[in-house]
Amino acid sequence: MNLEIPKYISNYIGGQFCAPRNAQYLDNVNPATAEVYSYIPDSTAADVQDAVHAAQQAFPAWSNASTDFRFRVLNKIAELIETNLAVFAMAETNDNGKPLTLSTRVDIPRASENFRFFATAALHFASESHSMADKAINYTLRKPIGVVGCISPWNLPLYLFTWKIAPALASGNCVVAKPSEVTPMTAYLLCHLCEEAGLPAGVLNIVHGNGSHCGSEIVKHPDIKAISFTGSTRAGKDIASIAAPMFKKISLELGGKNPNIIFADCDWDKMMRTTVQSSFANQGQICLCGSRILVEESVYEKFKTEFIARVKGMVIGDPLDENSKQGAVVSNVHFDKVMSCITLAKEEGGIILLGGNAVRLEGRCAKGYFIEPTIIEGLLPGCRTNMEEIFGPVVTLQSFKNEEDALLKANASEYGLAATIWTQDIGRANKMAAAIQSGIIWVNCWLLRDLRTPFGGFKSSGVGREGGWEAMRFFTEPKNVAIEF
Instruction: Tell me which of 92, 113, 181, 253 is the catalytic residue.
Output: 253
Cα–Cα distances in angstroms (integers) from residue 3 to residues 30, 115, 184, 287, 300, in the given order: 19, 19, 15, 30, 51
Least distance from C-beta 340 to ligand NAD, angstroms? 15
Run of H or E residues at 284 = none
Q: H or E stretch including 111?
A: helix 108-124
Contact positions vs ligand NAD (CB under 6 A): 151-155, 160, 178, 180-181, 210-211, 215-216, 219, 230-232, 235, 238-239, 253-256, 287, 389, 391, 417, 457, 461-462
Nearer to ligand NAD, 9 or 299 (CB): 9
Compare residues 338 and 361 and give the one whose CB is closer to ligand NAD: 338
Distance CA 9, CA 24 (A): 11
**Angle, in degrees to the nearest 10, between helices 157-170 and 108-124:** 10
DSSP state of 392: S
Return d(Cα 424, Cα 402) in angstroms, integer.
15
- Residue closer to ligand NAD by CB (options 107, 389) is 389
Question: Are 332 and 35 spatial neighbours (Cβ–Cβ below 8 Å)?
Answer: no
Q: What is the smallest separation between the CB atom of 140 and ligand NAD, expressed in angstroms?
A: 28
Report the residue number, 28 or 180, with the smaller CB distance to ligand NAD: 180
Q: How far apart, in Å, are the Cα atoms of 431 and each of 142, 266, 434?
A: 37, 16, 5
- Count H helices, E strands: the chain? 16, 24
The residue type at 457: G
Burial category of 211 from C-beta neighbours within 10 Å (exposed 0-12, middle 13-18, buried 19 and up): buried
Would you say 388 or 403 has its CB closer to ligand NAD? Answer: 388
> Which residue in 215, 165, 230 sits closest to 194, CA to CA?
165
Whether 287 is a known active-site residue: answer yes
Among 272, 253, 247, residue whose Cα is nearest residue 262:
272
Residue 395 and residue 311: Cα distance in Å, rounded? 11
Whichever of 165 and 417 has its CB closer to ligand NAD, that residue is 417
Task: Report how far residue 65's alpha carbon sits from residue 60's, in angstroms, rounded to the nearest whole number.
Answer: 9
Torsions phi, psi of 394, nearest 5? -135, 125
Give the residue with the Cβ less far from ligand NAD, 41 or 317.
41
Shortest distance (Å) from residue 333 CB to ligand NAD:
9
What is the DSSP secondary structure assignment for residue 200, as one 8-state letter?
A: P
The distance of closest approach from Cβ of residue 124 to ligand NAD in the complex, given in angstroms and rounded to an integer, is 24
- Minimum distance from residue 231 beta carbon to ligand NAD (Å): 3
- Report the nearest approach of ligand NAD to the CB of residue 38 (Å): 17
State the catalytic residue, choosing from 191, 214, 287, 365: 287
Closest distance of CB 145 from ligand NAD, Å: 18
**Angle at alpha carbon of residue 43, lines to 226 and 13, rounded to 5°:** 65
Q: Report the catalytic residues.
A: 253, 287
